[in-house]
Structure 1
Amino acid sequence: MQASAPLSAAPSPAPALTIHFQGASLAPSQFEQRWRRSAAALQAAGVGEGDVVALMMRNSPEAVELMVAVRYLGAQWCPVNWHFKTDEVQYIVQDSGAKLFIADAALLAGLTGLDAGATRVFCIRGALPGVPAWEPLRDASEPIGRLSARPRGAMLYTSGTTGRPKGILRHAMTPSQVEAGVQVRRAAYGIAPGLRGLLTAPWYHSAPNSFALGIALEGGELFIEERFDAERTLQLIAAQRLTHAYLVPTMYVRMLALPPEVRSRYDLSSMRFVSSTGSPCPPDVKRAMIEWWGPVIHECYGASELGYMTLLTSEQALRKPGSAGLPLPGVSLRILDEQNRELPRNVPGLIYIHQPATPDFSYVGNHEARERMEVAGLKTMGDIGYIDDEGFLYIVDRKSDMVISGGVNIYPVEIEIELQRMPGVADCAVFGIPDPEFGEALAAAVQLAEGAACGADEVRAWLRERLAGYKVPRVVEFHAQLPREDTGKIFKRKLREPYWAGQARRV
């Protein structure tokens, strides 16, 4: 077994981070004191290497502070989507085996009947009767000193074909992986000395989480917003002379929709690097952003499990519209057929990659799913694409039914399971349809039981009571009989095709 390397072998949480939030600033020395006190309090609560701390918090300095503190202990932080309902949160807290669950008091108050099992629960950023507050424990702790724990990264939950999300149990990073990870973040987010970064996307997502962590580890100034607002984003860039931001295509669409007189009101010339991941950006949207902001728009293709794989610059996007970019340095990228044979250029197949900067992983309670992803040291997420004559990757479809809406991964099986429990529903299928703002939206095809009567609003109301709002289909269509393949499985492609006809892209 490899011995733990001192944390000094990797970039330590930098003391040079300034955080700006809701009109107040947290100086570098204050931020360092807070994360070191949090680390000490976590350690006193029994958190050590390989343990998990679940965090359900809105964008805030406390979220970044706890992320850094958990990382310092060699543990994993598990960001929980703040839109989740009680059952969804309860599953993740218990399935992850979290030692602690720390949640914003306002969010925790909405989780009626939450059973956290053996997990200790704390509230933060507010008070809640009967729930201990985290801040007094943190503030009473002496700042932690030097440790020799290797970092692991976040335990992100990503859904699968079983309908329940799977937690990514990350192995400890080697010193070389830590250093390689620094280089990947610099390429993907443009992190550089003196940056003034903006975080408006929900930090519980993989990429915003990594963006905030990268700035915390290398220093700079981070402006945190609880939520995205199109004009507010422009105001901040102009007033604070911001240089870096993490934005997604949905945000581009909303900013581009602002009236021309509003858009022209703000000086955006300070921006040097905008990164985008999570969902493909339509070429016309990207072209419009480049024409407006200049050649600062960058897009990465990646996965929570495997890390970032490719990067597309503004110049490349204009020359290669629709491409996902070139492989990042050190990344192995191959296109294989169903028999694991490498395909020639311009022929679509399954995308397999190896990113040496990303430590290996397993899924909590589902090691077989991880094993099925790998062929000869390369792994696939089931995406289908091809490599052109110049080495640029193009993604044309997904083998799985996963829907990406506004950068959020949504797995239809989870929604179908809930819908099948609805009285009067005989069968159903949920799938993705094109959406000009979010890239994809959800549609549900429903077959009612004989004699049952039900409307689209009733279907949506049933799901809204049981699932996060973004999982509720925008379109609900009813069928006397759902189309089926010879095997009896619902033929989703036939349901999707009418919506995607004439579209240049399939995802």
Structure 2
Amino acid sequence: MDHCLISGKQRIPLGEFHHRSRQVARGLSEAGISEGDSVALLLRNDVPFLEVTFAAAVLGAYSVPINWHFKQAEIEYILVNCEAKVLVVHADLALKLPASLTTDIQVLVVPTPPEIQAAYTLTSEQCASAVESVGWDTWRNQFTPWDEPPVPARGSMIYTSGTTGSPKGVRRAPASAELQQSIMDQIQLGFGLRPSARALMTGPLYHSAPNAYARAVISLGGDLILMPRFDALDFLDSVERHSVTHTHMVPTMFVRLLNLPPAKRLAANLSSLESVVHGAAPCPPDVKRNMINWWGPIVHEYYGSTEAGLITFVTSSEWLEKKGTVGQPLPNSVVRIYGEEGQILNPGEIGDIFVNLAVGAGFTYHNDEKKRAEIERDGLITNGDRGYLDEDNFLFLCDRKADMVISGGVNIYPAEIEAILIGLEGVSDCAVFGIPDTEYGEALGAAIETHPNANLTEQSVQKFLRENMAGYKVPKLVTFHDHLPREDSGKIFKRRLREIYWDDNRALNS
């Protein structure tokens, strides 16, 4: 069976895909790309995204995906910081390119395909490129495939979200063939993948986990079906139409699926699914339990980071025994919890999570060795998460340290409140965050995305939370929204909600 990469009406056998990627590698080489250089991608989920990613790997260069939601200044920062020599961009996104784009960067424009135009309701006028460029297929097909001896791959240089300060590019050292195999073995365990899987890509490829997942599926010789954008009904249809066996998701997608009318959910044929893995954000226990009840014990979870890769894994059955856990460390992985004074904490004690680089190549932050040094302790690194290990070495997350709210000297973890709040009738999704308070320094604010016709008030929300948790964890401010700001993955842009209050210094009077 000839496995394929599928996007819209495109069905490309993997052999042809790799041929194309090697053609792109030749083209990039002639454009001046060599080992250690950067090729930037401002693309939605599309075949050329993966062609460039695999081509850069062949050359020992870095593919640098850019979140296409970014504004011009944010895009310019990454282009300059990663020192990109080539930028590959979808035609409709070319308008986002900064006016100061230098002539040192060669811009290659990819036509925005029909499936993406439809998913984002783009007009033909919007998809007319603002940059003069030879068409992508024409540019690629003029080159003979790259046939030089392989060099150690470096992978993608993903820029972290930049909770504080500017985003940082995670620049990995070259990986030998032996190390690449070890990484692939770890990925199969942590993502629940197998060779010849038929995998559905639901999230944006500019994110670290979807990017790694997609590359792994192709490298393992499976079928990869790209969704241009996640939609709950389209997801159910795609699983049935393509007999999907594996997929990667985030909790927000579960919520959207569970919000579908019961008749739609009952009519869905999901019998082909073998393994559904999720990560990237905490999953409310009720949501996960409902998904397991619907799909069976095939809903698994991992914990990881852009810097460290995959760290823990938990099956459905393990999670049902230990609700809320993100699992035990994968083979060769080390997880350690440190206290404020740098001491190693006992089981059950909440502290900073530090992990080792189990099988990955070493890394630094591009052009920022100082920040790389700041996250290390005893040879382990942290991404700012806090949590604890239980007696059986299962890891439980509390929150990002950066998201933690300190109100009157008390540490409060928004994720704990969000997990309760999502269970209130009428709440579709929510975000809890710190806002300025004249007396306590910080107070809690909650932004709630409501179901249609929901009858919620600030008082009813606060009453519900008081009945389910300590009073100091109840938000003082509750706002209601038809839609919360989101990334393309569905993840809430909490920073945008929070900065309204801090930028305006709208402190509450306690």
TM-score by length of 1: 0.78
- Whether the 8 Å contact between 1:34 and 1:65 is mirrored in structure 2 is yes
What is the Cα-based RMSD across aligned positions, in Å? Answer: 3.1
- Residue 397 of structure 2 corresponds to 395
- Out of 415, 420, 431, the position equivalent to 1:440 is 431
- Whether the 8 Å contact between 1:155 and 1:169 is mirrored in structure 2 is yes
- Residue 169 of structure 1 corresponds to 171
Q: Which amino acid aligns with 1:472?
A: R
CA distance in 2, matches of 1:272, 1:353: 29
Displacement of 1:60: 0.9
Displacement of 1:176: 3.4
- Whether the 8 Å contact between 1:18 and 1:220 is mirrored in structure 2 is yes
CA distance in 1, matches of 2:245, 2:147: 33
Is 1:78 the equivalent of 2:64?
A: yes
- Residue 209 of structure 2 corresponds to 207
CA distance in 2, matches of 1:87, 1:26: 36
- Out of 358, 365, 368, the position equivalent to 2:367 is 365
Displacement of 1:379: 1.0
CA distance in 2, matches of 1:323, 1:281: 10
- Residue 111 of structure 1 corresponds to 97
Q: Which amino acid aligns with 1:229?
A: D
Is 1:58 the equivalent of 2:82?
A: no
Q: 1:218 to 1:212 in 2, by over 3 A?
A: same
- Residue 140 of structure 2 corresponds to 138
CA distance in 1, matches of 2:404, 2:503: 22
- Whether the 8 Å contact between 1:275 and 1:300 is mirrored in structure 2 is yes
Q: SS where residue 175 of structure 2 aligns? A: coil
Is 1:237 the equivalent of 2:223?
A: no
- Residue 409 of structure 2 corresponds to none
- Out of 162, 185, 188, the position equivalent to 1:186 is 188
Structure 1, 219-228 or 431-440: larger mean CA deviation: 431-440
Residues 163-192 of structure 1: per-residue CA shift (max 9 Å, x gap):
211111211113332112111210122221
Residues 299-337 of structure 1: per-residue CA shift (max 9 Å, x gap):
111110111111111111111111111001110111122
Displacement of 1:438: 5.3
Higher RCO, 1 vs 2 (CA within 8 Å, ≥6 residues apart): 1
CA distance in 2, matches of 1:21, 1:277: 24
Q: 1:361 to 1:329 in 2, by over 3 A?
A: same
Displacement of 1:201: 0.7
Q: Which amino acid aligns with 2:304?
A: G
Q: Which amino acid aligns with 1:304?
A: T
Structure 2 residues without counterparts, runs of 5 or longer: 113-127, 406-413, 423-427, 439-478, 480-484
Q: SS where residue 387 of structure 2 aligns? A: strand
- Out of 99, 115, 120, the position equivalent to 2:85 is 99
- Out of 463, 472, 479, the position equivalent to 2:496 is 472
Residues 38-74 of structure 1: per-residue CA shift (max 9 Å, x gap):
1111111111111111001110111111111111111
- Whether the 8 Å contact between 1:277 and 1:301 is mirrored in structure 2 is yes
Is 1:25 the equivalent of 2:49?
A: no
Q: SS where residue 84 of structure 2 aligns? A: coil
Q: 1:443 to 1:109 in 2, by over 3 A?
A: farther
* Identity across matched positions, percent: 35
- Out of 83, 87, 104, the position equivalent to 2:73 is 87
- Out of 284, 300, 321, the position equivalent to 2:302 is 300
Q: SS where residue 282 of structure 2 aligns? A: coil
- Out of 29, 32, 37, the position equivalent to 1:46 is 32
Residues 114-144 of structure 1: per-residue CA shift (max 9 Å, x gap):
5246322221125634334443221100011
CA distance in 2, matches of 1:86, 1:246: 30
Displacement of 1:446: 9.8
Q: Which amino acid aligns with 1:119?
A: I
Is 1:340 the equivalent of 2:342?
A: yes
Q: SS where residue 324 of structure 1 aligns? A: strand
Structure 1 residues without counterparts, runs of 5 or longer: 1-14, 404-430, 448-456, 458-462, 484-493, 499-507
Q: 1:171 to 1:479 in 2, by over 3 A?
A: closer
Q: Which amino acid aligns with 1:105?
A: A
Q: SS where residue 313 of structure 2 aligns? A: strand
Show the 5 A alignment for 1:323-334: 323-334=325-336
Residues 95-121 of structure 1: per-residue CA shift (max 9 Å, x gap):
110111110011113436252463222
CA distance in 2, matches of 1:469, 1:289: 20
- Residue 247 of structure 1 corresponds to 249
TM-score by length of 2: 0.78
Q: Which amino acid aligns with 1:187?
A: L
Is 1:36 the equivalent of 2:54?
A: no
Q: SS where residue 354 of structure 2 aligns? A: strand
- Whether the 8 Å contact between 2:431 and 2:492 is mirrored in structure 1 is no
